[in-house]
Amino acid sequence: MTRFTRRYFLKAASFFTANACLSSHYTEAIAAGLEKIFERKQQILWLQGLSCSGCSVSFLNAENPGPLEILTNFISLVFHSTVSATQGHDVHNVIEKLTGKGNYTLVVEGAIPVGIPEACVIGKHPIADVLPPIIKKADSIIAVGTCGSYGGIPAAEGNLTGAVGVKEFMEKKRIPIEKRLINCPGCPVHPQSIVGTIAYAVGRGYPPVNETLLTPDMFYAISTHDECPRFHSWEREIFAEHFGDPEGCLFKLGCLGPHSFTDCPRRQWNGGVNWCIRASAPCIACTSPLFAKSKSFPFYRKGEKYHDVTYNDSDRGGDKS
Catalytically active residues are 52, 55, 147, 187, 225, 228, 249, 255, 264, 276, 283, 286
Whether residue 176 is preceded by a cis peptide bond, meaning omega within 30 degrees of 0, is no
Among 27, 99, 149, 161, which residue interacts with other proteins (rule: CB under 8 A)?
161
Task: Report CA torsion sign: 171, 176, 177, 180.
Answer: negative
Minimum CB separation of residue 230 from other proteins in Å reads 13
Question: What residue type is 69 in one-letter code?
Answer: E
HSE value, Cβ hemisphere, 13 Å, CA-based, for 61? 19
In terms of CB distance, is 135 or 147 closer to other proteins? 147
Say whether residue 174 binds other proteins (CB under 8 A).
Answer: no
Say whether residue 209 binds other proteins (CB under 8 A).
Answer: no
Give dist(CA 211, CA 177) in Å, integer.
12
- Applying the rule CB under 8 A, the residues between 77 and 136 that interact with other proteins are 77-91, 93-94, 97-98, 101, 113, 116, 118-124
Minimum CB separation of residue 124 from other proteins in Å reads 7
- Applying the rule CB under 8 A, the residues between 7 and 36 that interact with other proteins are none
Q: Of 194, 239, 266, give the one whose Cα is nearest residue 33.
A: 194
Say whether residue 289 binds other proteins (CB under 8 A).
Answer: no
Residues with Cβ within 8 Å of 278's Cβ and at least 6 positions away in sequence, in order, are 229, 268
- Buried b / exposed e over 203-230, threshold 16 CB at 10 Å, is bbeebebeeebbbbebbbebebbeebeb
In this structure, what DSSP letter does residue 64 have?
S
Say how many residues touch other proteins, by CB under 8 A: 94
Among 7, 172, 242, 320, which residue interacts with other proteins (rule: CB under 8 A)?
242
Say whether residue 286 binds other proteins (CB under 8 A).
Answer: yes
Among 21, 24, 96, 160, which residue interacts with other proteins (rule: CB under 8 A)?
160
Say whether residue 215 binds other proteins (CB under 8 A).
Answer: no
Say whether residue 3 binds other proteins (CB under 8 A).
Answer: no
